[in-house]
Amino acid sequence: MLELLHKIPLFKNLTENQLMCLMNGTHIRLNPGDLLFKQGEPAKCFYVVFEGAIRLTREISNQEVVLATYEAGTFFGEVPLLAGTLHLASGQAVGQCHVYCLHEEEFWQMLMFCPSVRQAVLGFMANRMQELQMLSQQHDKLISLGTLAAGLAHELGNPTAAARRATGQLHDTVNILHNLSLESIKQHLTPDQLEYLLEIKRKAIEQTAQPGEFDPSVQMDLEDELTDWLETHGVADGWKLVPTLVAAGVNTQQLEVIGKQVSANGLSGVLTWLEATLAVASVVNVLDQGVTRISELVNAVKAYSYMDQSPLKEVVVHEGIENTLTILSYKLRKHRIQVIREYEQNLPTIEAYGSALNQVWTNLIDNAIDALGEGGTIWVRTFSQKDCIMVEIVDNGPGIPPEIQSRIFDPFFTTKGIGAGTGLGLEIAYRIVVGQHSGDIRCFSKPGDTRFQIGLPIRSFQEMNRSKSEAALSEASA
């Protein structure tokens, strides 16, 4: 027993007599998933983990939030004992666990007769209370934001679906009107001429669906050229047709062919029909793209927040990253930032808290956008490595100064100006990856290459911690 206590860092400076004061505790062995205590129950013990791990979870706004995971060699339970409160969270075994419990009276004796332990425990209590308060406040904000996002997604869903149906009906109606209007110009055209005109229309509609961006001076020259041609060929009010024809890629060479094949009396009607057809196609295309974009955003918000899904589930990491990029797409376009995806095909799924991981991707990508300012590139890479999946988020910005790199995951530490950042984004990302998912997050930075590398276990939490417990038990036996 003394040998086990000596291995706990909290007790490493105690004398043998002081350790003897700790010998009256209780040994508890737990199977995976067993509860050590529940949130709201009276706090009666101080706990030391000999083997395995205990995950503390707190119910906040009807959602379970992981506060911390305490592995072999760590301790917990001092906060409710010192504060005189009920248990602030629930403790559950992750893998096979061996926990040593000092009852309340023995806990107070330990603090009285072991000054080094007292100093360490009080220091940890202050930090843990601050972390708990910060996490609760942050989670309350996220819950409110998630509720608002869910409500908006639901409210937008029905009108968006109706708009998509209306756009489809508009396509069908426009095709009918197109065929009817075509009858009025057939009399001025031979079959070959009609076929040529329809071919121009087809290519112009394709151009409208994928509009190119003209330099303003180039566009003005093209419009002037078309206007002159129409005036020369006696097309009344031809200037009204020009913007649509130029946007659709129609040029004077094509108009020359039409002009040679169509009588002077029929030219104005043919070109008016062509411009009206292209204008309607352009408007319908804009409506279709707009509704599609709204639908994508609604679906992304739903998937991003994992609405109506259990917190812990099989997660496809690529889907979460893509939903995050969709949410941040406006900011990326606004700052003219290119995103390059380098995804491993058939990346394994993982057991994870999907909405929490999406918060990690959001914080890291948003930080990269802020670091780049205007222009630049962000790379998002995924690959497998042993029993983990790796995600890298890289930017070619100015980098993080070496003297502060060790502090970037500290709470409230920020390099942004006053009011521009809370200093919690990276700390929350670290807590989610390391504390909630037993993963790893690292930063490597130099000018032109800042990369955050996240490792997430492919195996379930129980399998992973069972392996840790077996390794610890094997080491203790040796």
Does the pLDDT of residue 152 top 80, yes or no? no
Specify the pairing of strand 377-385 against strand 338-342: parallel
d(CA 55, CA 91): 6
% residues pLDDT > 70 (the chain): 75
Query: What is the residue extent of each domain of the chain?
Result: 1-113, 158-289, 313-464
pLDDT digits (tens, 9 = 90+) for 371-425: 898 889 999 999 998 889 999 999 999 888 888 877 777 765 565 554 444 445 7
Q: What is the pLDDT of residues 351-367, one digit of tens each?
A: 888 878 888 898 899 88
What integer best gives the mean pLDDT of the chain?
78
Q: What CATH number labels 1-113?
A: 2.60.120.10
The tokens describing 212, both together, are 């190119």
Over residues 419-454, the pLDDT tens digits come to: 444 445 787 788 888 877 888 999 898 899 999 999
Question: pLDDT confidence of 472, banded at 50, 70, 90?
Answer: very low
Chain-centroid distance, C-alpha 386 = 24
Q: What is the pLDDT of residue 391?
A: 95
Q: 3-state class of 408 per DSSP? A: coil
Question: How far apart, in whole angstroms, are the C-alpha atoms of residue 432 and residue 454?
Answer: 11
Check: CB of residue 276 under 8 Å from CB of residue 237.
no
User: Is 243 a residue whose pLDDT tops 50?
Assistant: yes
Supply the pLDDT for residue 381.
95
Give pLDDT, residue 10: 86
Maximal CA-CA distance, the chain: 114
Q: How far is CA 307 from CA 143, 151, 304, 314, in A?
A: 12, 10, 8, 15
Type of residue at 72: A
Give yes or no for residue 466 having a pLDDT over 70. no
- Mean pLDDT, to the nearest integer, of 63-72? 77
Q: Are 106 and 22 in contact (CB under 8 A)?
A: yes
Specify the DSSP class assigned to residue 86: B
Answer yes or no: is pLDDT of 456 > 90: yes
Q: How far apart are the first and last CA of the chain?
A: 16
Q: How many Å apart are CA 287 and CA 166, to the nearest integer?
A: 10
Q: What is the pLDDT at residue 422?
A: 44
The token pair that represents 200 in the structure block = 């121009």
pLDDT above 50 for 308: no
Q: Which candidate, 55, 68, 136, places its Cα nearest to that of 97?
A: 55
Do the beta carbons of residue 255 and residue 229 sit within 8 Å?
A: yes
- Which one-letter DSSP state was computed for residue 347? P
124 Cβ contact list (under 8 Å, min separation 6): 75, 78
Place of tokens 């039409």: 258
The number of residues in the chain equals 478
Please count the other Cβ atoms lying within 10 Å of the Cβ belonging to residue 278.
Answer: 23
How does pLDDT run across 341-351, given as a tens digit for each residue? 999 998 999 98
Nearest Cα to Cα of residue 80 among 39, 33, 23: 39
Do the Cβ atoms of 66 and 109 come closer than 8 Å? no
Is residue 342 within 8 A of residue 351, CB to CB? The reply is no
- Assigned CATH for 313-464: 3.30.565.10
Identify the weakest region by mean pLDDT among 93-102, 160-169, 407-416.
407-416
CA 15/CA 271 separation, integer angstroms: 99
pLDDT band at 46 (very low <50, low <70, confident <90, very high): very high
| CB-CB contact of 8 with 67 (8 Å) | no
CB 411 within 8 A of CB 427: yes
Q: Which token pair is 156? A: 């937008």
Question: At 146, is the secondary structure helix, strand, or coil?
Answer: helix
Interatomic CA distance for residues 119 and 216, integer angstroms: 71
Extended strands (E) in 7-117: 26-30, 35-37, 45-60, 63-71, 75-76, 90-103
Statement: residue 81 has pLDDT above 50? yes
SS3 173: helix
pLDDT at 88: 84
Report residue 212: phi and psi, to 5°. -90, 160
Two tokens at 407?
Answer: 């502090």
Question: 321 with 380: CB under 8 angstroms?
Answer: yes
Q: Which segment, 71-80, 164-173, 244-253, is predicted with the most confidence on average?
A: 71-80
- 195-215 average pLDDT score: 67
Residue 48 has pLDDT above 80, yes or no: yes
Q: State the average pLDDT over residues 37-52.
A: 92
Instruction: Give the mean pLDDT of 193-210.
Output: 70
Answer whether 372's CB lies under 8 Å from 335's CB.
yes
Q: Above 80 in pLDDT, residue 164? A: no
Q: 86 pLDDT exceeds 80? A: yes
> Confidence band (pLDDT; 50, 70, 90) for 155?
low
Question: How far is the CA of 10 from the CAs of 4, 100, 105, 280, 372, in angstroms?
Answer: 12, 13, 19, 76, 44
Comparing 21 with 317, the larger pLDDT belongs to 317
Tokens 């005109």 sit on residue: 197
Q: How confident is the model at residue 341, as a pLDDT?
A: 94
Which comes out higher in pLDDT, residue 258 or 100?
Answer: 100
pTM, two decimals, is: 0.48
pLDDT of residue 123: 80
Q: Which residues are within 8 A (CB) of 170 and not within 5 positions of it... i.e. 6 or more apart? A: 284, 287
